Structure 1
């Protein structure tokens, strides 16, 4: 029961480390018991802090993948109007939910890469869009002549 309650909460809020440590200890005591003769079985418990970060990362992914959702529209209007969620600043005075979800976008930035499409949404210099094995960003000097991948595409030849 305690894990179900904490799972819902961890999907929306960043739980303080002291609280996750306490919950983890209670769950371990339940599964392992105090008396070796009465142990309830073997159970592998992951850290709740990592689980909390993963659930908040899922919320961040929802902001990117469902731009028309009601939650995304509300948060966008309040915190990052006219910007991409990945390029937002935390700002001052955000509510606890926003301050919890915002840092998890770092998890996404570590692993995402753009699908180019027509290239009009992909910034050549700031977005991860190439994969050369060591980096996902362009390492050459910035040029003012081109800013988006679409500037590099010959749309007539589709190259």
Structure 2
């Protein structure tokens, strides 16, 4: 696809091959950066595959999600499962989409925090990589539920005792939204739903930096 697009852009054909005056990486750069704004096909494909993984997580009751879970990750969750030796091409492609999901997903504390791991899950909005930077060694709290009082508020004394100041402040300003189970959300969109456009932009920003 990349070769076909580049040949079309530079006017090449089967009978007449023209010089490509600019490398493909430059063509995929944004126009404000001197490029042509062409899509990086690998990143776009990964962003599209990420949407399939998002559907497995956001619609676990669907037939597709139940079949794949029973086949490939019945004893774990999607973000932690490993690729089995004889996995299908479809499943391997979906796992490739986790590359972007793992960087944009965040847990929203909807309920009591029992489904969110403090040290492993991303759950702190706009805070480093979404997790505390406080060292894990010798910590006796593991779930966000351990930091919430019976009245549904942050246990401020415990939070300030366990975490570095910067982590404690990030935790205390994170809203506890009410009743129900903690849910995954897409941090890069206000509505929390996965967006191929923002996922692609995330991958492109990483390439540029």
Alignment TM-score, normalising by the size of structure 2: 0.55
| Equivalent residue in structure 1 for 2:128, among 131, 134, 137 | 134
Aligned length: 131
* 1:89 corresponds to: 82
Q: For 2:135 and 2:124, locate their aligned partners in 1 and report how far apart those are by CA, in whole Å.
A: 12
- What residue ranges of structure 1 are gaps of 5+ in the alignment? 1-22, 37-42
| Equivalent residue in structure 1 for 2:55, among 47, 62, 67 | 62
Give 1:144 shift: 6.2
* 1:27 corresponds to: 5
CA contact (8 A) 1:125 1:142 kept: no
Distance 1:132 1:100, change over 3 A: closer
Whether 1:121 and 2:115 are equivalent positions in the alignment is yes
Distance 1:64 1:145, change over 3 A: same
Q: For 2:41 and 2:99, locate their aligned partners in 1 and report how far apart those are by CA, in whole Å.
A: 18
Q: For 2:138 and 2:145, locate their aligned partners in 1 and report how far apart those are by CA, in whole Å.
A: 14
Q: For 1:45 and 1:134, locate their aligned partners in 2 and report how far apart those are by CA, in whole Å.
A: 30
Q: For 2:137 and 2:39, locate their aligned partners in 1 and report how far apart those are by CA, in whole Å.
A: 43
Q: For 2:38 and 2:126, locate their aligned partners in 1 and report how far apart those are by CA, in whole Å.
A: 36
Deviates more, 1:27-36 or 1:148-157: 27-36
Whether 1:47 and 2:40 are equivalent positions in the alignment is yes
CA contact (8 A) 2:53 2:94 kept: yes
Distance 1:131 1:140, change over 3 A: farther
* 2:95 corresponds to: 102
Alignment TM-score, normalising by the size of structure 1: 0.70
Distance 1:142 1:121, change over 3 A: farther
| Equivalent residue in structure 1 for 2:150, among 131, 139, 155 | 155
Give 1:31 shift: 4.9
Give 1:125 shift: 1.7
Give 1:95 shift: 0.6
Q: For 1:53 and 1:148, locate their aligned partners in 2 and report how far apart those are by CA, in whole Å.
A: 31
